[in-house]
């Protein structure tokens, strides 16, 4: 039995002081419901991807479900740091495959900017080991700076190559009305911005954001009945890596991404050369370069040279909706946001950022600093 995505929705990402978390969740839900043509009563269950530690409202699944009018259907929360809503999609797939439910709403939602930046940095730092790492001041930027330094030392990757990732993603973000940042930047602007954690500059780092995205997922029979263009979930991969960097064998790669992609490719019966368009987790520019290699799009150590191949018309167009770098990174919503981008591409609905003839797409969603990774392959 195939599993299809029949409805998608996406809020504006950014500082969303204009809405409560329930109202923020409502925006993509209504879009996805209208997109699918389904009624609320036809949704059997809801799975919410979020990291509740950032939000004032606790037990977020309950108030959101009530606001969306989905009682008494069951709801629960999945949490895997930045890969929470990708984990929610994996859970929905398993529930439908097992025939426990026929149609499931997957909703990623996050209000991060209720907190000051200093508090967000502390919370993110505690995603690392709180005994041996966080007490020494590790932030997310510190972790990815270590990856960048390792990659530069081992392979000769340069700050200019990192900057080109930011330039490319902001170029496409400028065309995305839902993105937090809609202005192009230059390599010089990246390199002249202040250092956050050497060698990472300000423009090498994504921004915290509020946002939400929704998917309606159904079994094969329902998908074919209600949609002329269901997008099929063809391959799912998930893996973990040691929680502490002290026990990682290598810092220039994420072993969780390598393992998750292998699983997804195997289930989908394809290899990296079959992917027409991809969304990868570019929380920092070095993360995107590592993803090129971990996903098998280029040879190990060649990621820095591969950026030019990730524009539309290149070998593998990547993050052509702006990625986390331009869209912003509301951690619980990011996984669903990536899937929305791929579904639009495979339907041919991506507007001026459309990859012609895209038939197979991939999402790569990393949780924490690589402790979790989920890779999904989709087909038209």
- DSSP-assigned letters across all residues of 173-220: HTT-TT-S------HHHHHHSPEEETTEEGGGB--B-BEEEEEEEEEH
Number of domains comprising the chain: 1
Residue 357 lies in a domain: no
Residue 51 lies in a domain: yes
In percent, the amount of the chain with pLDDT more than 70 equals 100
More confident residue, 185 or 118: 185
**Annotated catalytic, 329?**
yes
Task: Output phi, psi for 156, to 5 deg.
Answer: 80, 15
Shortest CA distance to 47 belongs to which of 21, 31, 29?
29
**Tens digit of each residue's pLDDT (9 = 90 or more) over 120-177:** 777 777 777 778 887 887 888 999 999 999 999 999 999 999 999 999 999 999 999 9
In this prediction, residue 369 carries a pLDDT of 92
In this prediction, residue 56 carries a pLDDT of 76
Element containing residue 380 per DSSP (H, E): none
Residue 155 lies in a domain: no
**Tens digit of each residue's pLDDT (9 = 90 or more) over 188-219:** 999 999 999 999 999 999 999 999 999 999 99
> What is the pLDDT confidence band of residue 181, given thresholds at 50, 70 and 90?
very high
Angle between helical axes of 140-155 and 117-125 (0-180°, round to 10): 60
Residue 169 lies in a domain: no
* Catalytic option among 82, 205, 206, 283: 82
How many whole angstroms separate alpha carbon 61 and alpha carbon 226? 27
Q: What value, to the nearest 5°, has the Cα angle with vertex 271 and ends 375 and 331?
A: 15
Residue 100 lies in a domain: yes
Q: Is the pLDDT assigned to residue 119 strictly greater than 80?
A: no
**Annotated catalytic, 82?**
yes
How far from 342 is each of 152, 284, 335, CA to CA, in Å?
31, 21, 11
Residue 96 lies in a domain: yes
**Tens digit of each residue's pLDDT (9 = 90 or more) over 291-308:** 999 999 999 999 999 999
In this prediction, residue 59 carries a pLDDT of 86
Residue 299 lies in a domain: no
User: Where in the sequence is the domain holding 102, given as residue range(s)?
Assistant: 3-115+208-226
Q: Is the pLDDT assigned to residue 57 strictly greater than 90?
A: no
Average pLDDT over every residue of 321-342: 98
Q: Is the pTM of this model over 0.85?
A: yes
Residue 71 lies in a domain: yes
* Catalytic option among 10, 101, 329, 376: 329
Q: Are 78 and 88 in contact (CB under 8 A)?
A: yes
Residues 6+ apart with CB under 8 A from 293: 253, 299, 300, 301, 302, 303
How many whole angstroms separate alpha carbon 186 and alpha carbon 171? 9
Residue 73's CATH number: 3.40.47.10
How far from 80 is each of 52, 53, 116, 198, 366, CA to CA, in Å?
11, 12, 22, 27, 9
């Amino acid at each position: 039995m195939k599993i299809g995505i029949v409805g998608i929705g996406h809020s504006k990402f950014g500082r969303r002081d204009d809405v409560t978390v329930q109202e923020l969740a409502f925006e993509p839900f209504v879009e996805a419901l209208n997109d699918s043509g389904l009624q609320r009563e036809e949704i059997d269950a809801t799975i919410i991807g979020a990291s509740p530690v950032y939000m004032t409202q606790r037990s977020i699944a309950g108030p959101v479900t009530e606001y969306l009018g989905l009682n008494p259907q069951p709801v629960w929360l999945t949490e895997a740091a930045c890969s929470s809503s990708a984990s929610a999609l994996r859970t929905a797939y398993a529930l439908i495959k097992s025939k426990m439910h026929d149609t499931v709403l997957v909703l990623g939602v996050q209000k991060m900017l209720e907190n000051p930046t200093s508090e967000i940095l502390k919370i993110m730092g505690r995603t690392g080991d709180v005994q041996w790492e966080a007490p020494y001041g590790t932030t997310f930027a510190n972790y990815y700076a270590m990856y960048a330094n390792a990659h530069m030392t081992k392979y000769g990757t340069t700050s200019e190559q990192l900057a080109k990732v930011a330039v490319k993603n902001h170029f496409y973000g400028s065309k995305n009305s839902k993105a937090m940042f809609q202005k192009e930047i230059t390599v010089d602007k990246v390199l002249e911005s202040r250092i956050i954690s050497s060698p990472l500059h300000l423009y090498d780092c994504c921004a915290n954001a509020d946002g939400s995205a929704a998917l309606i997922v159904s079994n094969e029979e329902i998908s074919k009945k209600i949609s002329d263009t269901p997008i099929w979930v063809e391959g799912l991969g998930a893996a973990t890596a040691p929680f502490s960097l002290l026990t990682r064998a290598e810092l220039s790669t994420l072993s969780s991404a390598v393992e998750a992609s292998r699983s997804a490719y195997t289930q989908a019966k394809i290899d990296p050369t079959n992917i027409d368009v991809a969304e990868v987790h570019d929380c920092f520019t070095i993360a995107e370069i590592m993803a090129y290699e971990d996903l098998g799009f280029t040879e190990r150590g060649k990621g820095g040279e591969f950026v030019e191949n990730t524009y539309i018309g290149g070998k593998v167009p990547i993050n052509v909706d702006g990625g986390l770098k331009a869209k912003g990174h509301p951690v619980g919503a990011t996984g669903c946001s990536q899937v929305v981008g791929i579904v639009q591409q495979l339907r041919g609905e991506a507007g001026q950022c459309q990859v012609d003839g895209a038939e197979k797409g991939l999402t790569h969603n990393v949780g924490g600093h690589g402790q979790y990774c989920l890779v999904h392959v989709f087909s038209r």
